[in-house]
Structure 1
């Protein structure tokens, strides 16, 4: 049967023309027979001209109206209008022809019967052919899917799927009681209680969620219901993403972690997000990174006068500059984009940049953030995260920058690793500078924004899990009890921009990250929603194994966002202000000077000791893990 699908489109059009050439005259004969309760030679002779003329008049009209250009498998109810128009024009033309060729006249009832019969024949033949071709395509490898949601989006999706050879929709699932047992677009609708039965009965391989107006919480509830069925789940984009009003097969995507978290994004406060950006000169450090680049995208949308990009990576800087140039053009805004290759540790260069371009707001996102890498390279981590922040803060004060926002991390709270301790020390530096400046009108307002893991950032666990699942496993997990907070990059960046507008000086802002997620549960859900099962003692038939490889150097089991309990709300529901212990600049300056010397001389033990003194909450999870130090220790023991 697959041979029918392989026939060229032109040959299919010829077949349709040939069938119409045969059946349109037969349809006219049937109209005569119905009118006169029979058919004889006299009637055939009387109507011969019209019987013969029917296809010669109708087919050119059908061609002109595009009836034969329509791909049969893609047609929908709209084709009926074309059929009615084409048949009507052909009947009118036949009537006019009859007027000139028959003096005695023809029965008007024949034309009326033929009009109805021809419409039924032409329309029905196309839909019968479509059903046959869809059946054939479904029998030759298309994935049988259930569509969750029988509303407008669901019916659009069903039509789009029928036009492809990739999927064939066989059943609808919908929560609305009035739709159950109904038939929409030839597909039966079942309720959520009948999902398991419908999936087994129709041999469903995938479930497509076509409920784009649902909130994330509602979508998560549906995913919870579908997870035990072990079928692959895919979703359609949010309703606001469907600009053209038409759902396409290309819009279907894999389940993302934000779907699993069930967290709805809070709308931004326009006044807060614009306060430090609109018509101002803004600078972003680490502009090519995952957080820095998203900050740049959102800043451009707020229309600053100038956006300065500082980045160490040549490729990262090139990529974000090109992207922002395209975004600027699409938005139709005039913003001066100035890319600088360089490090935040170059105090004089950063000062000159800020002064020359009258920078008013700085978003400091440049940092080394990968916990194991910084643990193995602590000197570089301290140089970039601590002394880089110190250098940039001095440059900002010297250049008269009004607002300075540090992107911090939940790993700065009671840190167990070098990366977290360096970020906490960077926070302490900015708090000390804020107190040192006092209430001067020319002071730089420093604030810090602390949040957890962002989805899709470099090193994120979710793309790794998906890659491992697609490869058939195993999934590598550090520890069965490890938990993390998650937030999308756009939401985190948006909240950073808003928090920066609220700071009074020395503020530590903490973003509401929702509930912490147990990573092993996340991994299992991703496996189940991919239509697979985890291999375990309880499920020996599973195909995806989860291997626990142990915590990496400096890695924590549980992340926190607050050091103490002293926290207060702000004007934004997802942003809190924390009041935490500070170190006066006089004390901190001496510690930093000693730390600088220890880093210069690669005195690892002294570096560790000074970090412990500066960050009182620092409790190293492991010993010194620097590669050089470890190798020297091994050689000393061998000697």
Structure 2
């Protein structure tokens, strides 16, 4: 135990070891400098100067190394930066020695020894440190996986350094790039090849793993994934620029392949909209509401008033925000009086209404609750906001509001109509419509993940069903951007890119998890109210705004008194579907 404790590395032990090693190396360097200067014979009179100078020279060098923190550097991280600092420390040590010693030396002392000693010291001390790093880097761990790196950039360079430092369990055998000028060159002694050599390298080195360091668009990444899958690659990783040992590489995920990243995100407009404002968010613990809360914090909101009916969801978003600006309010948007008192007390500048029952089958099974929550709850939020002079209301809508076939979509369309036609005074009201977001609670992606992990089958309702997808953070940023540009009464529509076949999504996820041939896909039939194809546009009257990712729809006029009367009839009607059709004539319910 005592021997083991003595051999266990520590900062103090490493520092003591290096100090003693440097004393020996500095002494050897000084002696060699004398030998070289005096033709490999040192007479007795020169030994006096040698012994007088040696303690001062070594002491000054050690002091400079300590002041420049050279003794704090771990072997494996001794790099070019540390080497330059070490050379500078030795140079300063020799310079100060020359200033302090030479003017007062009374014995024979060859002055050129100081210059010779500088070069020999730098070689010996620097070489000593580099030798251990080289030894560590040439010693490979057993069981490393042979991998190809795709991309030539700083992430690829850092990845190779991580391998040399035994931080990752992969051994790069080649680098692939689409940059012709790079082909044939080397990065850290690893040859760079074009994509035409991809199959040859995989076959030659029996590669099963690929690490992607290039920043590709989701479409490019999807094409690359398909190519690698056809070549038999089972493990595909994406390198992170920052990350610890466990987080440096992440598995390629379905979100990486489907994400539609908007190119016209205007963060300055969002910041101007949010910074310094009090923002009230309903449904603040949900997938959309919680991400909007995070984004509002990023963009400098003064206060976040988080309205949520689920205790756990409210607790979770407050923990995630970890900020004094969050004001949690546990209540439903149906509690009008309590909601009104919150507005009276906290006086929000902006309201983002994300509270809703969104799951189509549950809304179909609980029509009364869905109608009451989605319509009456939204009306409460809008009316109270107008009453208290809120600057702007952003109502989150859905692609299911377009020619709805289910209760959820129809209720969302009713609120779009209400938001566009209610007299709002100085309050600007805008609705933002978009499709599915990847990874939201109850959505198809987490459901498929769970089914694949459980061994299948993966259930798809119909072989032709398609949906739009966008990453939650990007959708929420565009919601805020639409809110920033709104003047009141608009219905904005986010460009969700191309729709994705759900069966293709299922097949891709099965391949991502390496379960091809093991997990089956089972078609279960369309659920009540479910469409084969979701739509984002009602007709051809929509037009683009100054941002490519955001459209604006033509307003739909609906006399507000008539709309309020019809909504009241709906809330009190036993035939909710018939009453919804009266407000939304295009509602074609599928049960």
TM-score, scaled relative to structure 2 = 0.78
CA contact (8 A) 1:160 1:247 kept: no
CA contact (8 A) 2:19 2:62 kept: no
The alpha carbon displacement at 1:487 in A equals 1.8
CA contact (8 A) 1:486 1:517 kept: yes
Is 1:364 aligned with 2:353? yes
CA contact (8 A) 2:283 2:309 kept: yes
Range with greater deviation from structure 2 (518-527 or 308-317): 518-527
For 1:251 and 1:236, the matched residues in 2 are separated by 6
For 1:275 and 1:29, the matched residues in 2 are separated by 68
Q: Pairwise mapping of residues 324-335 of structure 1 onto structure 2 (< 5 A)?
A: 324=321, 326=323, 328=325
Is 1:195 aligned with 2:198? yes
Is 1:154 aligned with 2:137? no
1:301-356 alpha-carbon deviations (Å, 9 max, x no partner): 5556654332212233344345556275xxxxxxxx54332222223333444345
Q: Which residue of 2 aligns with 1:207?
A: 210
CA contact (8 A) 1:157 1:248 kept: no
CA contact (8 A) 2:361 2:527 kept: yes
CA contact (8 A) 1:150 1:172 kept: yes
CA contact (8 A) 2:262 2:549 kept: no
Q: Which residue of 2 aligns with 1:166?
A: 168
For 2:177 and 2:58, the matched residues in 1 are separated by 43
CA contact (8 A) 2:264 2:547 kept: no
Is 1:597 aligned with 2:580? no
For 1:93 and 1:442, the matched residues in 2 are separated by 78
The alpha carbon displacement at 1:399 in A equals 4.0
CA contact (8 A) 2:177 2:194 kept: yes
Q: Pairwise mapping of residues 285-434 of structure 1 onto structure 2 (< 5 A)?
A: 285-301=282-298, 303=300, 307-321=304-318, 323-324=320-321, 326=323, 328=325, 338-401=327-390, 403-431=392-420, 433-434=421-422
1:234-267 alpha-carbon deviations (Å, 9 max, x no partner): 2245xxxx6xxx7755343333445313633334
- Where 1:565 maps in the other structure, the secondary structure is coil
Is 1:235 aligned with 2:262? no
Is 1:455 aligned with 2:452? no
Is 1:556 aligned with 2:541? no
- Where 2:80 maps in the other structure, the secondary structure is coil
For 1:86 and 1:277, the matched residues in 2 are separated by 50
Gap runs ≥5 in structure 1: 1-6, 329-336, 536-542, 600-605, 623-639
For 1:372 and 1:610, the matched residues in 2 are separated by 20
The number of residue pairs the alignment matches comes to 578
Q: Quick one: structure 1 residues 76 and 181, their matched pair in 2 at CA, closer, same or farther if it must change by over 3 Å?
A: farther
Q: Quick one: structure 1 residues 32 and 269, their matched pair in 2 at CA, closer, same or farther if it must change by over 3 Å?
A: closer
The alpha carbon displacement at 1:377 in A equals 2.1
1:163-190 alpha-carbon deviations (Å, 9 max, x no partner): 3433344233333333323232233322
The alpha carbon displacement at 1:123 in A equals 4.8
Gap runs ≥5 in structure 2: 1-6
Q: Quick one: structure 1 residues 191 and 22, their matched pair in 2 at CA, closer, same or farther if it must change by over 3 Å?
A: farther
The alpha carbon displacement at 1:451 in A equals 0.4
CA-based RMSD of the aligned residues comes to 4.7
Q: Quick one: structure 1 residues 94 and 188, their matched pair in 2 at CA, closer, same or farther if it must change by over 3 Å?
A: farther
Q: Quick one: structure 1 residues 188 and 72, their matched pair in 2 at CA, closer, same or farther if it must change by over 3 Å?
A: farther
- Where 2:378 maps in the other structure, the secondary structure is helix
Q: Which residue of 2 aligns with 1:141?
A: 143
TM-score, scaled relative to structure 1 = 0.73
Q: Which residue of 1 aligns with 2:4?
A: none
For 1:357 and 1:378, the matched residues in 2 are separated by 33
The alpha carbon displacement at 1:398 in A equals 4.1
Q: Which residue of 1 aligns with 2:9?
A: 9
Q: Quick one: structure 1 residues 255 and 54, their matched pair in 2 at CA, closer, same or farther if it must change by over 3 Å?
A: farther
For 2:471 and 2:454, the matched residues in 1 are separated by 26
CA contact (8 A) 1:386 1:426 kept: yes
- Where 1:340 maps in the other structure, the secondary structure is strand
Q: Pairwise mapping of residues 8-27 of structure 1 onto structure 2 (< 5 A)?
A: 8-9=8-9
Work out which of the residue numbers 471, 481, 498 in structure 2 matches 1:498.
481
For 1:142 and 1:471, the matched residues in 2 are separated by 29
- Where 1:448 maps in the other structure, the secondary structure is strand
Q: Pairwise mapping of residues 56-75 of structure 1 onto structure 2 (< 5 A)?
A: 70-75=73-78
CA contact (8 A) 1:452 1:513 kept: yes
The alpha carbon displacement at 1:575 in A equals 1.8
1:479-507 alpha-carbon deviations (Å, 9 max, x no partner): 33332111222322232233335555543
The alpha carbon displacement at 1:450 in A equals 0.8
The alpha carbon displacement at 1:414 in A equals 2.2
Q: Which residue of 1 aligns with 2:544?
A: 569
